[in-house]
Structure 1
Amino acid sequence: MDLHDRIAHLDPKHGILVGGRPLGAERTFAVHDPATLATIAEVADAGPEHATAAVDAAAGALAAWAAETPRARAEVLRRAFDALVAETDLLADLIVAENGKARADARAEVAYAAEFFRWFSEEAVRSEGDYAVAPASGTRTIVTHRPVGVAALVTPWNFPAAMATRKIAPALAAGCTVVLKPASETPLTAIAIVRILREAGVPDGVVNLVPTTDPRAVVTTWLEDSRVRKVSFTGSTGVGRTLLHQAADRVLNASMELGGNAAFVVTADADVDAAVAGAMIAKFRGGGQACTAANRFYVHADVAEAFIARFGAAVEALRVGPGADEESEIGPLISARAVEGVQALVDEAVAAGARVSHRGARPEHGWFFPPTVLTDVAPDSPILGQEIFGPVAPVVTWTDEEEMLAQVNGTEFGLASYVYAGRLQDALKIAERIEAGMVGINRGIVSDPAAPFGGFKQSGLGREGAREGLREFQETQYFSVDWS
Structure 2
Amino acid sequence: MALHNNGLLQANSAFINGKWLQAKDDQLFDVLDPATWTPIAAVPDLTQAECIKAVQFADSALHKLSAMTGKHRGQLLREWFRLIMQAKDDLADIITAENGKTISEARGEVSYAADFVDWYAGAAPRVQGTVVESSDSTKRVLVIKQPVGVVGIITPWNFPAAMITRKVAAALAAGCSCVVKPAPETPLTALALASLAAQAGFPPGSFNIVTTKAHTIDIGRVLTQHPIIRKFSFTGSTAIGKLLASQCTTTMKRVSLELGGNAPFVIFDDADLEAAAEAIMASKFRLSGQTCVCTNRVYAQTGIYQELASILAAKVKSLILGPGGDANTTIGPLITKTAVARVEGHVKDAFSKGAKVIVGGRRAPSLGDAFFEPTLLVDVPADALCAQEETFGPVLPLFKFESDQDAINLANDTNFGLAGYFFTENVHKAWTVAEKMDVGMVCVLLSRL
TM-score by length of 1: 0.89
| Within-5 A mapping of 1:316-335 | 316-335=317-336
Counterpart in the other structure of 1:353 = 354
List gaps (5 residues or longer) in structure 1.
447-484
| 1:425 alignment partner, one of 425, 428, 437 | 428
Candidates 430, 439, 443, aligned match of 1:440: 443
Match of 1:370 in 2: 373
Give how far 1:428 is off.
2.3
- Tell me whether 1:152 sits opposite 2:152 in the alignment: yes
- Say if 1:315 and 1:360, in contact at 8 Å, map to a contact too: no
- Taking the TM superposition and a 5 Å limit, the aligned residue runs for 1:143-182 are 143-182=143-182
- Aligned residue among 20, 23, 40 for 1:22: 20
Residues of 1 paired with 2:394 and 2:327: CA distance? Answer: 19
Alignment of 1:26-45 (within 5 A): 26=24, 27-45=27-45
For 1:113, the aligned partner's letter is A
Please say which of residues 87-96 and 396-405 is displaced more in the overlay: 396-405
Match of 1:254 in 2: 255
* Residue 121 of structure 1: how far off its partner (Å): 0.5
Q: Which residues of 2 match residues 185-334 of structure 1 at below 5 A?
A: 185-213=185-213, 214-334=215-335
- Could you tell me which residue of structure 2 aligns to residue 10 of structure 1? 9
Tell me how far apart the structure 2 counterparts of residues 139 and 132 of structure 1 sit (CA, whole Å): 10
Q: How far apart are residue 405 of structure 1 and its match?
A: 1.2
What is the deviation of 1:136? 4.5
> 2:150 touches 2:177 (CA, 8 Å); kept in 1?
yes
Letter in 2 for 1:223: T
Deviation at 1:137, TM superposition (A): 3.2
Contact 1:70/1:124 (<8 A) preserved = yes
Structure 1 pair 327/206, CA: closer, same or farther in 2 (3 Å)? same
Of the two structures, which has the highest relative contact order with CA contacts closer than 8 Å and spacing of 6 or more?
1
CA distance in 2, matches of 1:350, 1:195: 48
Displacement after TM superposition at 1:44 (Å): 1.2
Q: Please give the secondary structure, in 1, of the residue aligned with 2:442.
A: strand
Q: Any conservation in 1 of the 2:8–2:192 contact (CA below 8 Å)?
A: no
Q: In the TM superposition, what is the alpha-carbon distance from 1:415 to its structure 2 partner?
A: 0.5
Tell me by how many angstroms 1:4 deviates: 7.0
Given that 2:316 and 2:375 are in contact with CA atoms closer than 8 Å, whether structure 1 keeps it comes out as: yes
Check whether the contact 1:319–1:328 (CA below 8 A) recurs between aligned residues.
yes
In 2, Cα distance between equivalents of 1:34 and 1:8: 24
Q: Deviations over 1:15-36 (max 9, x none)?
A: x222112112341000111111
CA distance in 2, matches of 1:209, 1:128: 30
RMSD: 1.5
Secondary structure of 1:413's partner?
coil
- Is the 8 Å Cα contact of residues 74 and 122 (structure 1) preserved in structure 2? yes
Corresponding letter in the other structure for 1:395: L
SS of alignment partner, residue 3 of structure 1: coil
Q: Distance in 2 between matches of 1:363 and 1:82?
A: 41
Name the amino acid aligned to 1:254.
Answer: V
Q: Output the amino acid matched with 2:18.
A: G
Distance 1:416 1:29, change over 3 A: same
Task: Check conservation: 1:316, 1:360, Cα contact below 8 A.
Answer: no
Provide the secondary structure at the position in 2 that maps to 1:137. coil
Structure 2: which amino acid aligns with 1:84?
I
Q: Which amino acid aligns with 2:38?
A: A
Are the equivalent residues in 2 in contact too, given 1:376–1:396 (CA < 8 A)? yes
Q: Offset at 1:381?
A: 2.4
* 8 Å contact from structure 1 (residues 4, 40) kept in 2: no
2:338 corresponds to: 337
| Secondary structure in 1 matching 2:126 | coil
2: CA distance between counterparts of 1:316 and 1:251? 51
* Deviation sequence 1:81-103 (CA, Å, 0-9, x none): 11111111001101110000011
Letter in 1 for 2:2: L
CA distance in 2, matches of 1:325, 1:424: 42
Identity of aligned residues (%): 40
Shift in alpha-carbon separation, 1:360–1:200, aligned structure 2, 3 A: farther
Question: Is this contact kept in 2: 1:321–1:363, CA < 8 A?
Answer: no
Q: Which amino acid aligns with 1:197?
A: A
Q: 1:48 to 1:232 in 2, by over 3 A?
A: same
Per-residue displacement from partner, 1:351-371 (whole Å, max 9, x unpaired)?
011111122894613211111
Verify the 8 A CA contact 2:153 2:223 in the aligned structure 1: no
Q: 1:415 aligns with which of 410, 414, 418?
A: 418
Change (3 A) 1:85 1:99: same
Please report how far the alpha carbon of residue 252 of structure 1 lies from its aligned counterpart in structure 2 after TM superposition: 1.2
Q: CA deviation at 1:379?
A: 2.3
